[in-house]
Structure 1
Amino acid sequence: MKTKRILAAAAIAVLATLAGGYASHMFFNRSAHLATAPAQPNAVEQLWTAAVTNPDGASQSLSRFKGHAVVVNFWASWCAPCVEEMPELVALHHEYAKKGVQFIGLGVDSEQNVKAFLQKVNVDYPVYVTGFGGAELARAFGNQAGGLPFTVVIDANGVVRSTKLGQIQQKELRQTLDAL
């Protein structure tokens, strides 16, 4: 009798865990989908003219990337999913740099936090600081929720090819990049 109760309790626990995981998956995917909209027509131009600095505080221009295929990743040092996906983005950067794709990190954070983060984590593609202005720039690309991470792929002609709210999926991003 005691064994049957233990087995029944274990079965209920497993079912509850599976149901919770499924509900969480469905909620997250639906929320991410509802939180994005098409990019504004001038979003790419806003990117090229955005006020950014390097982690040392020197003013920089993103216009030098105009005419190149770029992957723009909006992130913050306090965002756990952002930190988790950094090694994947670095690996993809290495793979696709040979094909002319440039990765850019835009820290929606303070210069101090970005600089401290980069001293701990090796990110070898250009990283700039946007401060809170980065959230507005991400909204121009359709990130209505203002969530992070948020990744945008822009082709060499300045056309937004994809946006992704939440952690990247390597397979998805590779498909987009391979089609450029």
Structure 2
Amino acid sequence: MFKKNYLIYAAIAIACGAAGVWASLKTARPAAPAAAGAATQGAAAAGPVAALYQQKLKDGKGVEQALAQWQGKPLLVNFWATWCAPCVEEMPELSALQGEQAGKAWQIIGIGIDSPANIAEFAEKHKIAYPVYVGGMSGTDLSRQLGNAHGGLPFTVLIGADGQVKKTYLGRLKFDQLRADLASM
């Protein structure tokens, strides 16, 4: 039994590692094609972002929180999982970035694609300077609505105060690029 579980976890880890390598080779892409009109981009982004703000998710301590509390504020939403090595690797940098930005207008949140128990245990072990929520497997659907066509992790979405998706990032974040993107907002 233990050996069978070990093989399953090893296969998942290898798949996630391969996805992380593949994704790190990709550059961040805009949320919608540049050729599309502003009205089209607004309509496309309003639906998924509105769906995000309608969510009520439990935090790492099991307390249900409304994501609408972040509406009207620039937001960096990071979809991650405890079993995803690139996700876990970028979390200290995301925490440092949130600390650097203390008092600024935007916020980082994490949505874990994992079980409540795993996320609670992870949040207890690690010092994460931004709110972490339990998305469970429905978090994958939410990430797809926000532009994650392949369902890969980590997946990060930059949302403006206007509720528009400004940029999406698949794979481990390149923090120099992210800082430049945040500075341009």
TM, length-normalised to structure 1: 0.78
Structure 2 gap ranges (5+)? 1-17, 33-40
Whether the 8 Å contact between 1:36 and 1:144 is mirrored in structure 2 is: no
Match of 1:95 in 2: 100
Structure of greater Rg:
1
CA shift at 1:64, angstroms?
Answer: 0.5
C-alpha separation in 2, matches of 1:30 and 1:177: 19
Match of 2:22 in 1: 28
C-alpha separation in 1, matches of 2:31 and 2:179: 22
Match of 1:142 in 2: 147
CA shift at 1:92, angstroms?
Answer: 0.8
Structure 1's 80 and 30: CA in aligned 2 closer, same or farther, altered over 3 A? closer
The alignment yields a C-alpha RMSD, in angstroms, of 2.5
C-alpha separation in 1, matches of 2:144 and 2:85: 21
Q: Pairwise mapping of residues 56-75 of structure 1 onto structure 2 (< 5 A)?
A: 56-75=61-80
Structure 1 gap ranges (5+)? 1-23
C-alpha separation in 1, matches of 2:162 and 2:101: 17
Residue of 156, 159, 167 corresponding to 2:172? 167
Structure 1's 36 and 175: CA in aligned 2 closer, same or farther, altered over 3 A? closer
1:89 aligns to what SS in structure 2? Answer: helix
Aligned residue pairs: how many? 155
CA shift at 1:178, angstroms?
Answer: 0.2
Higher RCO, Cα 8 Å, sep 6+: 2
Residue of 51, 54, 73 corresponding to 1:46? 51
Post-superposition Cα deviations, 1:81-129, rounded to whole Å, max 9, x if no partner, equal 0000001100111112332111101011111000111121110211110
* 2:181 partner amino acid: T
CA shift at 1:31, angstroms?
Answer: 7.9
Confirm or deny that 1:125 pairs with 2:130: yes
C-alpha separation in 2, matches of 1:103 and 1:175: 16
Match of 2:12 in 1: none
2:101 aligns to what SS in structure 1? Answer: helix
C-alpha separation in 2, matches of 1:36 and 1:136: 19
Whether the 8 Å contact between 1:36 and 1:165 is mirrored in structure 2 is: no
Structure 1's 36 and 115: CA in aligned 2 closer, same or farther, altered over 3 A? farther
C-alpha separation in 2, matches of 1:66 and 1:73: 16
Whether the 8 Å contact between 2:115 and 2:136 is mirrored in structure 1 is: yes
Whether the 8 Å contact between 2:62 and 2:120 is mirrored in structure 1 is: no
Q: Pairwise mapping of residues 147-158 of structure 1 onto structure 2 (< 5 A)?
A: 147-158=152-163
Structure 1's 49 and 169: CA in aligned 2 closer, same or farther, altered over 3 A? same
C-alpha separation in 2, matches of 1:96 and 1:30: 25
Q: Percent identity?
A: 43
